[in-house]
Structures are given as structure tokens and as C-alpha cells.
A and B are shown apart, each in its own frame.
Chain A
Amino acid sequence: MSTHVDGNALAGPLSEMFSVDVTCAKGTCAGCGDTSVLAEARVFVDPMGFVVRCSHCEDVLMTVIAEPDHAMVELSGLSRLILTR
């Protein structure tokens, strides 16, 4: 069984790139249009990177790589990121 965690696990890695807590932001899936809080996204913790999937359609929302010599966030699966104040 391939286990996953949720978007809460991204708070640390994303803190290097964003000054706000992105896990509390809502993201719109570019695939199915679902808008949900990133903390509730399905996150697969691959040693090569965090693969963040839409909890409705499983499409990849984003990938977060936070290695000492390679830090990158690939966001093409998110059409919107909504921060509430």
C-alpha cells in the first residue's frame, strides 16, 4: 500500500520559499477545478520530492523539492492559489 500524508507536511519545505503559510491557502486544481485547502491535499512523500495531488481527482497540483542543492516548486497543476486574510 502506497501511503500518503496531507498538505500539513508541506509547511516546513514551503516556508523556505513563501513568507506566508501556504498550507492554509486554497488551491484550484487545474484539472478538475476543485478548490480546497492545501492542508487537505493528498501528499506523497517521495525522497525525490513531495508530490501534492488533488484529493478529488488525484491530478498533481504541485511538486515541492527542497534538497540542499535543488529547491523547486512546480505549480502547473494549480490554476489558482487563494490566501485568506
Chain B
Amino acid sequence: MAVISRGFFGRRREENPDLPPGQYLTEDFPVLSAGPTPVVDTADWGFTIETESGLVTTWTWEQLKALPIEDIHTDIHCVTRWSKFGTSWRGVSLDTLFKDIDTTNEYVMAHSYGGYTTNMPLADLLGGKAWIAFEFDGKDLEPEHGGPARLLIPHLYFWKSAKWIRGLRMHSRDDPGFWEQNGYHIYGDPWLEQRYW
């Protein structure tokens, strides 16, 4: 039975019926770090999609920026219970990137500069649900928040929105990425509160 700490309320947080279960609303944008922040120059940056045939499609920074760019306005939900309403991003839809990709595999492993990985079904990247985002709140995405570019999949817990995204590899099975190997849920739907296995 924990002792209640007189006068302690923690960071400003509110419950809100529009939030997924177990979440609090925050004004901050907490920085999560599982490792050192990679430093990636856009001159060296590349994004790849690799299919089961071994075919690798690559975009340079300029090539990515030349694709149709969308404004995204969305809520985000972190498994550590923080949610932010109405975050603003700019990025390229995964639908655009997958347009000419030929694959029958149904799962994807996202790889980041620095080695981070996370997995998701391909279906969760398509249909207007996911982007490669490079702007947040009207400014270039900062390295501590995943810049130059991160994956953005707001309908899943935010650990799936891999920072410092480098590429996607098609998998035939839903193989677990870094946090998924550490007991976090393989899918991660905040509305079903899928935090752990």
C-alpha cells in the first residue's frame, strides 16, 4: 500500500474522455531515448524499402522532398501514458512510397539510424495512416525528436513511429522489433490498451 506524498501531483496531466484508456493529456513533448541520438546529415540521408525479392528502392533527401507532401494534424499516444492532442506534422505518405513496390509479404520491420527497430503489419502503413515526417509544429524535425525524418503512425502507440527512420524491410511474419522483444505488445493499439504481451 503506497504512501501518498502530500502535495505531490506530478506533471500537469488531465484525464479526458477523448483519450484512449489509461492515458493522460500533456502539453510537453517528452523525449524518449533508448540510445545516443544519431546525427544524420540530409546529404547522406537515404530511405529504402526492401522487398522479399531483395529489391531495394531508395530515396535521397531531395527525392523524398520532391514527392507530394501532406499536412498531418493528429493526436499521438505514448505507451508511457502521455497523449498529445492536435500535433502538426508535414511528411510523405507511405501510400506514395509503396505505390510501385511489389510485395506479397504482409509485415514490415522499420529500421532506424542507430539500430532501433519496430514492426507493424503493412496494412497499418497504408490507407492514409502513416507518413515519413520531417517537420513538426512548422519547423524541421529536431534530432532529439527523430530528425531528419521519422516514421509517423499515429493510430498505434508512439514507439511504433520510429525515429531516425532509415528503411523498411518486408517480412513474411510479424517479427518483433526492439521494444516488442522487451515485452511490449506486437501490435500496440492504444484504444485496446495493448501495452504489453
Which A positions have Cβ atoms within 8 angstroms of B?
A: 1-4, 44-49, 51, 53, 58, 60, 63, 65, 69-70, 72, 74, 76
B182 to A65, Cβ gap below 8 A?
yes
The majority secondary structure among interface residues of chain A is strand
Q: Which of A2, A65, A69 contacts B35 (CB 8 A)?
A: A2
Q: In the complex the two chains form, what is the Cα distance from A65 to B178 in whole Å?
A: 13
Chain B interface residue count, CB cutoff 8 Å, equals 20
* Chain A residues, Cβ within 8 Å of B183: 65, 70, 72, 74
Contacts of B37 in A (CB 8 A): 1-2
- Of B26-34, B93-101, B167-175, which binds chain A? B26-34
Give A60 Cβ to nearest chain B Cβ, in Å.
8
Once the chains bind, are B35 and A53 in contact (CB under 8 Å)?
yes
Instruction: Write out the residue numbers on chain A whose beta carbons fall within 8 Å of the beta carbon of B80.
Output: 47-48
- Does B124 belong to the interface (CB within 8 Å)? no
Which residues from 64 to 82 on chain B have a C-beta closer than 8 Å to any C-beta of chain A? 78-80
Q: Which of A4, A53, A74 has a CB less than 8 Å from the CB of B182?
A: A74
Point out which of B30, B36, B79, B196 has the most chain A C-beta atoms below 10 A from its C-beta. B36
28 contacts across the A-B interface (CB closer than 8 A) = A1-B37, A2-B31, A2-B33, A2-B36, A2-B37, A3-B33, A44-B33, A44-B35, A44-B36, A46-B32, A46-B34, A47-B78, A47-B80, A48-B34, A48-B79, A48-B80, A48-B159, A48-B182, A48-B184, A51-B34, A51-B35, A58-B36, A65-B182, A69-B196, A70-B183, A72-B183, A74-B182, A76-B181
A72 CA / B34 CA spacing, docked (Å): 16
* Chain B residues, CB < 8 A from A51: 34-35
* Residues of the B chain whose Cβ atoms lie less than 8 Å from the Cβ of A1: 37
Taken together as a complex, chains A and B put the C-alpha atoms of A44 and B181 apart, in Å, by: 17
CA of A28 to CA of B144, assembled, Å? 30
Please, which residue of chain B has its CB at the minimum distance from the CB of A47? B80
B5 to chain A, nearest CB (A): 16
Least Cβ–Cβ distance between B168 and chain A, in angstroms: 21
